[in-house]
Structure 1
Amino acid sequence: MTVRGLPFLIWSLTVLSLILTLLGVCVGSSGFENLLQPLLHPELDPSASAMAEQIVYEIRLPRTLGAWAAGALLGLAGAVAQGLFRNPLADPYLLGSASGASLGVALTLAVLGGSAGMLGGNMMNGGVVVSVFSGNVLVRLGLTGAAFVGAVLAVFLTLALSKGVQHTLRLLLAGVVVGVVLGAATQLVLLFSPDSLQAMQAFMLGSTAMVGWTAWALMVGVWVVCVLAAGLLGRVLDGLSLGEATAHSLGLPLGSLRVALVAVLALATGTAVAQTGLIAFVGLAAPHLVRSVIKTTHSRLMLLASLMGGALLMAADTLARWLIAPQELPVGVLTAVLGGGYLLWLMHRNSRAFAGGAS
């Protein structure tokens, strides 16, 4: 597909997301149930219509749209990371943001103690009714804030260790070191706070079960800001893809532009992680899926990867609710299995193509 097919791909991903939204509001703890009919025809059964309206608008619709927003943020962040590091295996968590968020949540859980344990049980049950969670709103806000602050501080620590963003390799290595050290610190905190293990496990596996309208609005707002910023910064990624010498020859101020790209990466990743926990492979796989169907510039790639990430996570979240209903799979486990399988297939296909070319 050429750049001429760009509008078609955008419309295809948009229509797919709309279809998945309709499907998502019809999948709950009891599996698939068509709630659209009582909503569209309330005169047939007013009580059923009122119940369907409450379930859809207060629980399933914000959760489904929240899954799209989190996936869109991760897809955008993955495209930024892969362009910034010029590495197709780069993911949004490469600067240590995941480990920083995990440490922030672990410390908060250790301080909160018993009330946090109740939250963990709710999250592990997946599709619980939001009213069960209403008594833990302050706990949820504390965990969300801790995850975001931890993710951002981890990125700042990475920047400090790498002494700026001038050297991509040093930045990459600093991110790996920060991730390992903060991951070890998280395990140490959990070792001394075993009551937090269940809630921490829910965060590590990822869940959209507690996403409401406020969280959705926050993620969409951040997504709009990041998409606009990424569109303006796409030219520097195009230049970096040709090599730093070429980028310098184009007159690009790489230092300040790299800082801006890292800020977009940290903001998008931190916001998504704070609301849904650690969801694997969406940010890594979304840009690859886009590249497999279209060749385009980074400005368009980041938008397309964002739309692809939203559709991927929305589909995975709906599937996680439906597969073993009334139980629910953690969506992070499902994305890891599906994303890992896709990348293995991609590696196998590329290795066969390389072997065929060599022969």
Structure 2
Amino acid sequence: MSVPAVKRTILFSLGLLLLLATVLSLALGPVSIPFADAIGALLRPLTGWSVAPDTQLIVEHIRLPRTLMGILIGATLALTGAAMQGLFRNPLADPALIGVSSGAALGAAMVIVLGGVWLAALPAALTPYTQATGAFAGALLTTWLVYRLGSSAQGVSMASMLLAGVAIAALSAAVVGLLTYIADDAMLRALTFWNLGSLGAASYDRVGMLVLCCGPVWWRLPRQARALNALLLGESEARHLGVEVERVKRELVLLTALGVGAAVAAAGLIGFVGLVVPHLVRLMLGPDHRQLLPACMLLGAALLLLADVAARLLVAPAELPLGILTALLGAPFFIALLMRMQRRGGL
């Protein structure tokens, strides 16, 4: 089988994996639903398939928005992670390096701990979205600050941005620690839930917010695949190949801030997806971003859905925080991957 055919087969297999993960996400949980009924409830508006009312209610109003949110967040985190690794030409890069995740966590923490007075004045319908709004604003503000610190008359320096991102992340973590110190019990519970990450707050409103924010990311980042391939050779070589390097840098950073900020705003901090998934895909498809980026979207969405199913089942009827599970699974895998790369002389 030729190399293009192998790559098409892998992409098709990843699509099937995402389809399987979607069905599992709809069917499994504290209340298990037969696969046929889960599919029937999903397709009922099209097929008229008759299912029990309680099954229809669980699938349509609880598990479907959760599944859609998992697909959007998993695909976005993996896609932006692959873009950051290509932009920095560093396999250890992920969106957290430019301060997006830490800024989002700081924004949410400030709303939780300091927003009591003005939150009480808001209409009750807006209250559930204040933390997400704070997280999103924090992500965008932090990214803007890191970008400004990394910019000069000569353009945007990736090394300066990296150092600025590390510094801003450390500062954000310190402020979050201070807010945690002064928080009361109710605030501490909210902070803990946010920092551990979960899809438990899924709703169609949040899915709509994610579609609006992640749609441009999904549309634009894959279109930068050729530019990312050129950047792998170095910035000077990319310029000789006709790439507008400064514009591409700016666009990639802003799109990453938009996508990751929305993901953290919707579900809290979920680590290692943007770091591990691109490595897995490179092992299967190689470094060409034309196949790498769409494959990362498929695998990222599938793995986050599978992790969410495991989070629901492992301690049922309680629910394990998704961020803990992705860290427990992702960190050992990443350590093993690093050791493997060292043995091969890749690091």
Decide whether aligned partners of structure 1 residues 274 and 15 sit closer, same or farther in structure 2, where only a CA change above 3 A counts.
same
Q: Summarize the alignment of residues 155-234 of structure 1 with structure 2, pairs less than 5 Å apart.
A: 155-163=143-151, 166-195=156-185, 196-234=187-225
- Structure 2 residue 87 is matched with structure 1 residue 96: no
After superposition, the C-alpha distances for 1:281-314 in whole angstroms (9 at most, x for unaligned) are: 0010110110011125223312211111111101
Q: Which amino acid aligns with 1:63?
A: R
Runs ≥4 residues deviating over 4 A: 38-42
Task: Using the TM superposition, give the Cα deviation of residue 9 of structure 1 relative to its aligned residue in structure 2, in angstroms.
Answer: 2.1
1:12-54: CA deviation from partner (whole Å, max 9, x where unpaired)? 1221111111111222224x34274388499xxx998111111
For 1:69 and 1:26, locate their aligned partners in 2 and report how far apart those are by CA, in whole Å. 19
Aligned-partner Cα distance in 2 for 1:38–1:316:
19
User: Mind listing any 5+ residue stretches in structure 2 that lack a counterpart?
Assistant: none
What is the CA–CA distance in structure 2 between the aligned matches of 1:38 and 1:104, rounded to whole Å?
37
Question: How high is the TM-score relative to the length of structure 2?
Answer: 0.89
1:312 aligns with 2:303: yes
> What aligned pairs does 1:93-172 form with structure 2 within 5 A after superposition?
93-113=96-116, 138-163=126-151, 166-172=156-162
- Output the CA distance in 2 between the equivalents of 1:189 and 1:152: 20
Deviation of 1:351 after TM superposition, in Å, equals 3.1
- Would the alpha carbon gap of residues 353 and 254 (structure 1) be closer, same or farther in structure 2, given more than 3 Å must change? closer
- Pick which of 21-30 and 50-59 moved more: 21-30
Identity %: 36
Structure 1 residue 140, shift from structure 2 partner: 2.2
- Asked if structure 2 preserves the Cα contact closer than 8 Å seen for 1:90 and 1:284, the reply is yes
From the superposition, tell whether residues 6 and 218 of structure 1 become closer, same or farther in structure 2 (CA, over 3 Å).
Answer: farther
Deviation string for 1:150-169 (max 9, x for gaps)? Answer: 10100011112222562110
Q: Give the Å deviation of 1:68.
A: 1.3
How many Å apart are 1:188 and its aligned residue? 1.3
Which residue does the alignment assign to 1:274?
A: 265
Q: Is the 2:40–2:50 Cα contact (8 Å) retained in structure 1?
A: no
| Equivalent position amino acid for 1:265 in 2 | T
Mapped to 1, the partners of 2:39 and 2:317 lie a distance apart of 23
Q: Give the Å deviation of 1:186.
A: 1.4
**1:112 deviation in Å?**
4.4
Structure 1 stretch displaced more, 155-164 or 71-80:
155-164
2 CA distance for matches of 1:75 and 1:295? Answer: 16
Residues 38 and 49 in structure 1, CA contact (< 8 A), matched pair in contact too: no
Tell me if structure 1 keeps the 8 A contact 2:285–2:291.
Answer: no
Distance of 1:35 and 1:16 partners within structure 2: 15
- Do the aligned partners of residues 40 and 74 (structure 1) sit closer, same or farther apart at CA in structure 2, a change above 3 Å counting? closer
Instruction: Please list every run of 5 or more consecutive structure 1 residues that lacks an aligned counterpart in the other structure.
Output: 117-134
Deviation at 1:353, TM superposition (A): 3.4
Tell me the secondary structure at the aligned position of residue 306 of structure 2: helix
Residues 35 and 243 of structure 1: CA distance in aligned 2, closer, same or farther (over 3 Å): closer
Q: What is aligned with 1:17?
A: 18
Secondary structure, aligned partner of 1:200: helix
Contact 1:100 1:147 in 2 (8 A): yes
Give 1:160's aligned amino acid.
R
Deviation of 1:341 (Å): 1.7
Instruction: Show the counterpart of 1:37.
Output: 37
1:108-150 deviations in Å (ceiling 9; x for gaps):
1113459x9xxxxxxxxxxxxxxxxxx9753321111111011
Letter in 2 for 1:194: D
3-state SS, counterpart of residue 98 of structure 2: coil
Provide the aligned C-alpha RMSD in A.
2.6
Residue 94 of structure 1: SS of its match in structure 2? Answer: helix
Offset of 1:190 from its aligned partner? 2.1
CA contact (8 A) 1:69 1:310 kept: yes
**1:248: how far off?**
2.0
| Residues 18, 299 of structure 2: 8 Å contact kept | no
Letter paired with 1:292: L
Q: CA deviation at 1:77?
A: 0.7
- Figure out how many residues of one structure are paired with residues of the other and give that number: 333
| 1:189 counterpart SS class | helix
